[in-house]
Amino acid sequence: MKILTVNAGSSSLKFNLISLPEEKELISGYFEKIGLNGGIYSLKINGSKIKKEADMRDHKVAIELLIKELLENKIINSLDEIDGVGHRIVHGGDKYASSVILDDEVIKTVEELSPLAPLHNPANILGVKAFRDALPNVPMVGVFDTAFHQTMDKERFLYGIPYEWYTKYQIRKYGFHGTSHKYITKVMQEKLGKEDVNVISCHIGSGGSICCIKNGKSIDTTMGFTPNAGLIMGTRCGDIDYSIIPYYINTTGASLKEVDNILNKESGLLGICGESDHRDVENKMHENDDKAILANEMYVNRIVEYIAKYYVELDGNVDAIVFTAGLGENAREFREEILLKLGSLGIFVDRDKNMEIASYMDKHEGLISSEESSVEVYVIPTNEELMIALDTYQLIK
């Protein structure tokens, strides 16, 4: 089967075409500035990259270009070869604990959940509807970022607020990056040869979350009602004392909207040292920039705190700690800094093994803990697109 995976934003469209069950990527691409001036798109076929300019007034035009490229590059000979389309959808609320076929009822429910993810769900559904028009006979599947975390117990997903806030307004911890954490769980189940794996999955990129996985299921995660909870990130503040918000508003006269923007887009690493990309933070650290060193240390400490917390939640019965996503897969010194602070738990890094692994090097994944370590530590590249394709494949097969 050939499965198309789609991640639609308000002005963008990311896609992959994957052949299953062999898990072979046939083509991938990214359409940018849809509905804006200066539209461009890029494709990757057999390692070769192609970049083109194109005016795209809406997602329908982008999809027409996508299909045209699939046919002209002989990726498919006809649209009949596309067996399914898997759509990344950010928020499924507590309605969806797994991926589902996107029929009219599901689409309506996802639209009703838009207040929980106003920047993402409407754009995701825009992509679903455009693909339904372009490929009316092809099954559409929704894969939710929140679904994997629906196995959390109430004691972990509820906040210490009036209970009716949960029952009336759906305010609770949902967690995100679920597709990535689910993929890491699948890989570790295969690697360790058992279903009931206990894993601390560290998805560390410009956005970051850690997931506590017990017996193959998510029991806790760092992101909460929104992705702004938990870790310090590139531009997000992570956990803070809520009273900071009214204090800042009363002191400065800023609006709630302005503060929300600051906490999501001007905080985290960017707020501390002026750089949101950790590579730029590292460059400043090498120049002995005090704020860059401070930002990095704060980020490391927050990650260490949550790994230690989840180690305790698993009663020390941890099969593996896994680093994944852009920073987790590539920032070798950063990984080492984190692991050096976990020695009291009997977790130790093998510096040589750790330094060998990064996506721009020959070795992309592997074991980085020492033989003395009580817990094995791995670097595993995430593959959310493949996870979306696999879920789609299983549902339509």
* CB-based contacts of 16, cutoff 8 Å, min separation 6: 4, 5, 25, 27, 28, 29, 385, 389
145-161: burial string, b at 16+ Cβ within 10 Å, e else: bbbbbbbbeeebbeeee
Question: What letter represents residue 162's amino acid?
Answer: P
94: annotated active-site residue: no
- Residue listed under structure tokens 């593996």: 320
Count CB-CB contacts under 10 A for residue 394: 12
The Cα angle at residue 163 between residues 160 and 165, in degrees rounded to 5: 95
CB 127 within 8 Å of CB 59: yes
The Cα angle at residue 256 between residues 254 and 258, in degrees rounded to 5: 60
DSSP state of 135: S
Q: What are phi and psi of 322, to 5 degrees?
A: -125, 130
Work out whether strand 376-379 and strand 366-367 pair parallel, antiparallel, or are unpaired. antiparallel
The single residue of 83, 145, 239, 280 carrying the catalytic annotation is: 145
**Omega prior to 21 cis, within 30 of 0:** yes
* CB-based contacts of 260, cutoff 8 Å, min separation 6: none
Q: How far apart are CA 177 and CA 211, in angstroms?
A: 9
Count CB-CB contacts under 10 A for residue 169: 12
Q: How far apart are CA 99 and CA 87, in angstroms?
A: 10
3-state secondary structure of 349: strand
Could you give the residue numbers annotated as active site? 145
